[in-house]
Amino acid sequence: MPSPQRRLDPSVPRERFALELQDLHRAAGKPTQQVLAAAMHCSHATVSAILNGHRFPSWEHTRAFVRACGGEEAEWRRRWIQADRESRSDGVVFTPEPAVPESSVLRPAWYLDNEQFYLNAAERVRATHSRILVTYVRRRPPDHYTSEAAAAYFAAVLDWARRPGARSVRRIIGISNRGMRDWVRRHYEDTKDIRNYDARVIRWELDADGINMALFDDSAAFLAFSGVASQELSGFRVDSVEFLRYFVGYFDQLWACGTALEQYVSTQDDTRAF
């Protein structure tokens, strides 16, 4: 790998991070640009720009680089987050990374039916470490759907929340009709003793399902799309910190305008609007 053509300043967060990557690269025996570019799914120029401090890498690029150089992923994840936060707080504007397909940052896994989507979502639930954010904005409650995979997924989320430890499930539920309101009452009774589970209710006025999401830790986002028939559903998953960050921000907006499930249930009666 060619030596940097300018001296990097370790007091600048993104340049310090580039210096640390250079150290890892040397410790690994200096894998070639060809090897690194193949591992990172990017061009040789992108590898050079990252190592020379001209471009701050995405986490996907960083992770691939670290793996190619035999580094410890958890440690480098911590370093990347720190450099990213410090750079943002300093008001640094990074040179954007190349758009897909060169960087291939987004690589969705497509799920073409209900079974595929929920089987994979349930598997991801079981692999999650600390946080699950989910929405349920549909015209029919979860117990309306006949798929065993769907039932297994909804059960897996609550089972995960019941386990002890520093973990959290937050769910946003859209209420658009009497059937959803009645289900929410039952759901509250089923979940009120789960300490790691919090739900809020929002009013949903459209006679159509929303685009639903399930966000796991800070690494995976599942998006679900309903079909015309009640049992139809498809979607996709993206494993990307950057992609997920946008949806976490949107989730937090919805959460802020929601009503706590306990409060909603305690103030509802059959004569009130949904």
Closest CA to 142 of 195, 186, 208, 194: 186
Residue 274 domain-assigned (yes or no): no
pLDDT for the residue numbered 49: 87
Please write the tens of the pLDDT for every residue from 209-264.
Answer: 999 999 999 889 999 999 888 889 999 999 988 889 899 999 999 999 999 999 99
Q: Within this chain, do residues 18 and 55 fall inside the same structural domain, yes or no? A: yes
Q: pLDDT tens digits, residue range 111-165?
A: 989 999 999 999 999 999 999 999 999 999 999 888 899 999 999 999 999 999 8
Q: Which domain holds residue 78?
A: 13-89
Does one domain contain both 174 and 243? yes
Last residue within a domain, chosen from 39, 55, 89? 89
Q: How far is CA 120 from the centre of its chain?
A: 14
Q: According to the model, what pLDDT value does residue 136 have?
A: 97
The SS3 call for residue 60 is helix
Q: Are 210 and 83 contained in the same domain?
A: no
* pLDDT at site 269: 64
The verdict on 54 and 180 lying in the same domain is: no
CA–CA separation, 91 and 215 (whole Å): 28
Which residues are registered as beta bridge partners of 109?
Answer: 237
Q: What is the pLDDT confidence band of residue 189, given thresholds at 50, 70 and 90?
A: very high
Same domain, 67 and 134: no
Statement to judge: residues 261 and 130 lie in one domain: yes
CATH of the domain at 80: 1.10.260.40
User: What is the structure's pLDDT at 42?
Assistant: 82
Percentage above 90 pLDDT, the chain: 60
Provide the domain count of the chain. 2
Q: Which residue has the tokens 């050079």?
A: 48
- Distance (Å, rounded) from C-alpha 71 to C-alpha 69? 6
Q: Identify the sign of the CA torsion 130, 117, 157, 250.
A: positive
Q: What span, in angstroms and rounded, lies between the C-alpha atoms of 186 and 115?
A: 25
Instruction: Report the SS3 class of residue 133.
Output: strand
Mean pLDDT computed over every residue of the chain: 87
User: 241 and 153: one domain?
Assistant: yes
Cis peptide before 164 (omega within 30 of 0): no
Q: Find out whether the peptide bond into 101 is cis, omega within 30 degrees of 0.
A: yes
Q: Which residues of 197-208 are buried (b: 16+ CB within 10 A; e: fewer)?
A: bbbbbbebeeee
Q: If you write DSSP's letter for every residue of 239-270 in order, what string do you get? A: E-HHHHHHHHHHHHHHHHT-EEHHHHHHH--T
The pLDDT assigned to 101 comes to 44
Q: Are 258 and 185 in a shared domain?
A: yes
CB 158 within 8 A of CB 194: yes
Q: Is the pLDDT of residue 272 over 80?
A: no
Residue 226: CATH number of its domain: 3.30.870.10
- Tell which of 89, 122, 147 closes a domain: 89
In a domain? residue 102: no
| pLDDT score of 90 | 56
Look at residue 216 and tell me if it is in a domain. Answer: yes
Q: What is the pLDDT of residue 96?
A: 45
Measured CA distances, 215 to 24, 250, 265 (Å): 31, 11, 26
Residues 71, 129 within the same domain: no
pLDDT at residue number 10: 84
What is the model's pLDDT at position 240?
87
Residue 174's identity, in one-letter code, is G
Among 38, 54, 89, give the residue marking a domain's end.
Answer: 89
For residues 73-88, give the mean pLDDT.
Answer: 85
In this structure, the number of other CB atoms found within 10 A of the CB of residue 216 comes to 22
Looking at residue 100, its pLDDT comes to: 42
Q: How far apart are CA 175 and CA 138, in angstroms?
A: 8
